[in-house]
Amino acid sequence: MAYELQMSPQLEQIDGEIRDNFRALANGFQKLDKIKDSNRQSKQLEELTGKMRECKRLIKEFDREIKDEENGNPPEYNKQLNERKQSLIKELNSYVALRKTYMSSLGNKRVELFDMGAGVSEHAAEDNVQMASSMTNQQLIDAGTKTMNETDQAIERSKMVVQQTVEVGSQTAVTLKGQTEQMGRIVNDLDTIHFSIKKATQLVKEIGRQVATDRCIMFFLFLIVCGVIAIIVVKIVHPNNTSISPIPGLAPPAPARKLLSVQLMGL
């Protein structure tokens, strides 16, 4: 019994992503044939290799989904899914083989001896390759020696730059250490000031409490003095008032008649 291959939404999505990557691989290899620069070819091959890795991952995910759905599907349907997986693997292997062919072709290309500056055309690069092929062995050795000398000079300049960078880093480290120590001293001074302010605040509070206590004592003394003065005034103004007790240490006022008789006797 034949079954129509109708995949689940998950398998349909994975299969669509794989087909999109295969189309990108086909277009990429077509563009690769038109590229003459080996560096650009290598970069293009790296991008295509990334697409192949993505296809391999998707095929593995496709296989996992098939195994997860295997128990709920008819045998003929599972067979068709496995055949679809094998066809995807076969197509991916064809692109892998094509990549190996291009990699081998790039490895056999002649290495250019002359560096091309920015803005140099591909025609100028081909002229350099032809020039190198027409040179004698001694000329090639001289050119290689010259290139090695230039490389050594570049390395020496790089060493100088690295040494200068290390010196600048050392000076920066010393400066940062001094700044860190200065910040530590500032923090210690701030702690001392904070402690002094705290002690001063406590002292002010203590003085305030003492002043308040002294004011209360002076207020009570003032009340006592005022009371004594009031009693004395009342005794002088009303000497016959017996409701007011005599003040200790103060003699009661003499009657007016007795004072008058004493004055007459003195005369």
| Structure token digits, residue 210 | 């003492």
The predicted structure's pLDDT at residue 21 = 92
- Helix, strand, coil shares of the chain, percent, nearest 5, are 80, 0, 20
Q: What is the mean pLDDT of residues 62-74?
A: 86
| Structure token digits, residue 82 | 């496995």
The predicted structure's pLDDT at residue 58 = 92
Decide if pLDDT at 20 tops 90. yes
Per residue in 124-157, is it b (16+ CB within 10 Å) or e — as a string?
ebeebeeebeeeeeeeeeeeeeeeeeeeeeeeee
Q: Are 231 and 247 in contact (CB under 8 A)?
A: yes
What is the C-alpha to C-alpha distance for residues 256 and 239, in angstroms, rounded to an integer? 10
Q: What is the mean pLDDT of residues 122-144?
A: 56
Q: What is the mean pLDDT of residues 27-51?
A: 86
pLDDT in tens, 171-194: 888 888 888 888 888 888 888 887
The predicted structure's pLDDT at residue 22 = 93
What is the C-alpha to C-alpha distance for residues 19 and 51, in angstroms, rounded to an integer? 11
The predicted structure's pLDDT at residue 23 = 92
pLDDT in tens, 189-245: 888 887 878 887 888 888 878 877 878 888 888 888 888 888 787 767 766 656 555
Over the chain, what is the mean pLDDT?
77
Q: Are 28 and 51 in contact (CB under 8 A)?
A: yes
Q: What is the 3-state secondary structure (H, E, C) of 38-50?
A: HHHHHHHHHHHHH
Q: What is the mean pLDDT of residues 71-83?
A: 87
Q: What is the mean pLDDT of residues 105-109?
A: 65
pLDDT in tens, 46-65: 889 998 999 999 999 999 98
